[in-house]
A and B are shown apart, each in its own frame.
Chain A
Amino acid sequence: MTSPSSVGDPLMGFQRVVTQDRVAAYADASGDHNPIHLDEEFAATTRFERRIAHGMLSLAFVWEMMSANYPDDWHKGGTVKTRFTSPVVPGEEVEVGGSVKRLRNVGGEDFIECDVSVTRPNGEKALTGSATVPLSRMSVRD
């Protein structure tokens, strides 16, 4: 696969169903047992009125997308700047996507900056932001 490298190139995205089981598994794996993700009774008292998925889970989807699109460079160092703009509710299938926003050269280093997003079935963005791939930035310990 050729990595997207021109402004406007779409990133290869994917859809993923966020089940409550996945949220529970993520809570166990990450250690984040915030009741807003797990406790139905507590979640009903919050502004969301139901359990919501971890924002970090949506960010993990973005990380996975960047890893798939830039397999040689993303793991050598990458930056994400994201806002969680709407909660993902368990049961929803989200769409993870993005596109190349611009190419930059800073101090002799090349960067590809991408717009990234996670979109809920109703069209609301659960996550928006940018992901920057620094090409040839750091040494890799293999």
Chain B
Amino acid sequence: MNPEERSEAMDAAYKLLETPRAHLRVKFEQTEDSVLLWYRDDVLTGVLLDQSGMNAASAMAVALGVEIPRTGESVEVLASTGLLHRVLALSDLDFRNPSSFELANHLVDEAVDMQRVARRSGESGSPMDLSELESGMEFGPYVIDLTQADTDAYIDATGDSDGAKGFGGRVHPLHLDAFVLSKLIAEIGIVENRIETVHAGQQMTVYKQVWPGDLVVANSTLKSCSNRRGSIWAVFETTFTEETEDRVAVSSSTIIMMP
């Protein structure tokens, strides 16, 4: 991608970023001669693999919180529009100018602060100790990206023989909630530490239907946490949103843990 092409792509990219969004799924790709940032079918920006471009690509990767993919490969990243503004600015720096490095450092620092990384993903790192739980604690974001096969498997597992007709290919809303619950119990250490639990209650309100392939992001908050006769009663409230920030659903889960 030459500077003219980049300029044209960035004009469109900045229009995309005019609407603040917490979650956009972008693709960071290395081709034979460029490093490109995609959103869906559009290139947002890119740099040539010359010396200046490699510096820019490295800075973009750090800002996005990933490694530069190998040639011919790509990596998907969830990023806010604020973070993407920094990445676009980094791609536009001319690193033949020494002052660009200082500006790049500043932009990267800002981007790193903005990275929306699951801080304590249930899939990585050690589960927390139950004694760490306190009201107001936030969990996630959890990125939910279900396939049609995932959706079908969930509906089949419930025994809903008419499910395909009933849901018309849509994601079962409870599947979203179940997904988050599975992450929460892993994060809290219920599975690894084999803690006896009771799922005492569940509420859910659905605002919008989603389809396989739609990106849904869930953010959970420990709304209340109390110790009753040695058992911990925890109420988690979860908000599900699409990358457009549209609210998909909200839920509340009451879990009793008996450590």
Contacts and interface: CB of A to CB of B under 8 A. Distances in A.
Interface in A41-93: 42, 45-47, 54-57, 59-61, 63-64, 67-68, 71, 75-84, 87
A61 B194 contact: no
B106 interface: no
B118 interface: no
Given A54-B178, A79-B204, 18 more contacts: A25-B156, A25-B157, A26-B158, A32-B185, A46-B196, A47-B258, A56-B181, A60-B172, A63-B172, A64-B163, A67-B166, A68-B166, A78-B206, A79-B203, A80-B202, A82-B203, A83-B201, A140-B209
A25 B199 CA distance: 19
Interface residues of A, number: 44
Interface in B196-225: 196-209, 211
Interface residues of B, number: 44
Nearest to A77: B206
9 contacts: A25-B157, A29-B150, A32-B181, A54-B178, A56-B202, A61-B158, A64-B162, A78-B205, A84-B201
B158 A64 contact: yes
A33 to B, nearest CB: 6
Contacts of A16: 159
The 5 A-B pairs at the shortest CB distance, nearest first, are namely A31-B182, A30-B178, A55-B199, A25-B157, A60-B158
Contact of A59 (B162, B185, B202): B202
Nearest to B166: A67
B153 A29 contact: yes
B203 A32 contact: no
| Most A-side CB within 10 Å, residue of B154, B162, B183, B199 | B199
A59 B160 CA distance: 12
